[in-house]
């Protein structure tokens, strides 16, 4: 059974993707274990940039929304009454469906006494599968512009990656920023949550929110400090007060930023970064064994 690690943060731009990509590669190349990289930042997926690869397969992803069958409708208005999201409006003899308000709960279709509403698929984006020359499989999702909800697509990406990860020792989820529904969906099936933070009030504030939510989901949580300076005792103390262990600190290095800006793989180029990857991988393996 694959061990699932979610790389998350709360604050955007702390280094989730750079870490997810390089960690997955490290696990494959150095530890010779099977890893699958899954990019769940469906609003702005970036992992493929670093693997310099185009999608091998693309699958349309959709969510369920009701379809109105006028011939069966008796104008009872039950559907509009039961929808808590106001996605169905009874306007004279028609039922209007506002798809972008629909939460796919099924209540209208289930409760319509005449069967005048059936659930059908509505496109939200694509799930993409990539093979890279580094032999790492990447699965991501890309949300259609103007689609408001990421969670249904995140679910689809996870389902597809589960199908393809039967042989994987590790699944690395590159999670989206934020601390609410897309974050919850991204970490909810993981065995370990690694919060990547920066040693600033912004980083601490947002990590605290992310940790609070992960705790409510009963997740195992560890922290990685990115862009650290020589003395991060304040930040380390902060996390120990949260009851969460800091397992690695990656030093601030403009050369890493420059390399990242060109979409380059970082591992193998900077000692400090590689040491951190090693420590993180050790923790992951230890957790997987327990």
Residue 56 structure tokens: 């091998």
Q: Does 46 bind another protein (CB under 8 A)?
A: yes
Taking CB under 8 A as the rule, does residue 55 contact another protein?
no
Residue pair 272/253 in contact (Cβ under 8 Å)? The answer is yes
Residue 278's CB is within 10 A of a number of other CB atoms, namely 15
Q: Which among 62, 53, 65, 214 is positioned nearest to 141, based on CA atoms?
A: 62
Choice between 95 and 283, CB closer to another protein: 95
d(C-alpha 14, C-alpha 34), whole Å: 26
**Interaction between residue 32 and another protein (CB under 8 A):** no
Q: Does 254 bind another protein (CB under 8 A)?
A: yes
- 125 forms part of the interface with another protein (CB under 8 A): no
Query: Pick from 69, 89, 236, 247: which binds another protein (CB under 8 A)?
Result: 89
Is residue 39 at the binding interface for another protein, with CB under 8 A as the rule? Answer: no
E-assigned strand segments in 132-251: 137-143, 170-174, 192-197, 221-228, 245-251
Least distance in angstroms from the C-beta of 50 to another protein: 8
Three-state secondary-structure class, residue 160: helix
Least distance in Å: CB of 75 to another protein?
A: 11
Q: Dihedrals φ, ψ of 173, to 5°?
A: -100, 115
What tokens appear for 201 in the block?
């009030």
Q: Does 233 engage in binding with another protein (CB under 8 A)? A: no
User: Is 166 near another protein (CB under 8 A)?
Assistant: no
CA angle 221–222–226, rounded 5-degree value: 135
Residues in contact with another protein by the rule CB under 8 A: 10-14, 17, 43-44, 46, 49, 80, 82, 84-87, 89-92, 96, 98, 101, 103-107, 110-111, 143, 145-150, 176-184, 198-202, 205-206, 209, 213, 216-217, 227, 254, 257-258, 260-263
């Amino acid at each position: 059974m694959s061990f699932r690690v979610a790389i998350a943060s709360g604050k955007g731009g702390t280094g989730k993707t750079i870490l997810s990509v390089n960690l997955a590669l490290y696990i494959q190349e150095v530890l010779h274990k099977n890893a699958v990289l899954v990019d769940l930042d469906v609003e702005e997926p970036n992992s493929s940039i670093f693997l310099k690869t185009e999608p091998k397969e693309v699958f349309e992803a959709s969510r369920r929304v009701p379809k109105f069958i006028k011939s069966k409708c008796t104008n009872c208005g039950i559907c509009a009454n039961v929808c808590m999201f106001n996605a169905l409006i009874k306007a004279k003899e028609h039922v209007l469906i506002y798809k972008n308000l629909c939460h796919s709960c099924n209540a209208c279709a289930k409760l319509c006494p005449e069967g005048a509403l059936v659930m059908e698929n509505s496109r939200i984006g694509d799930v993409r599968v990539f093979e890279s020359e580094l032999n790492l499989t990447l699965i991501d999702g890309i949300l259609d512009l103007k689609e408001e909800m990421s969670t249904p697509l995140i679910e689809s990406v996870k389902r597809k990656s589960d199908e393809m990860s039967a042989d994987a020792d590790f699944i690395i989820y590159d999670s989206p920023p934020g601390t609410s529904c897309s974050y919850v969906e991204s970490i909810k099936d993981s065995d370990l949550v690694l919060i990547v933070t920066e040693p600033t009030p912004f980083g601490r504030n947002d990590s605290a929110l992310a940790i609070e939510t992960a705790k409510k989901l009963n997740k195992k949580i560890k922290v990685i400090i990115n862009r650290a300076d020589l003395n991060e005792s304040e930040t380390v103390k902060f996390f120990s007060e949260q009851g969460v262990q800091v397992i690695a600190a990656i030093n601030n290095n403009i050369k890493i930023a420059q390399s990242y800006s060109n979409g380059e793989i970082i591992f193998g180029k900077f000692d400090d970064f590689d040491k951190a990857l090693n420590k993180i991988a050790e923790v992951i393996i230890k957790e997987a064994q327990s």
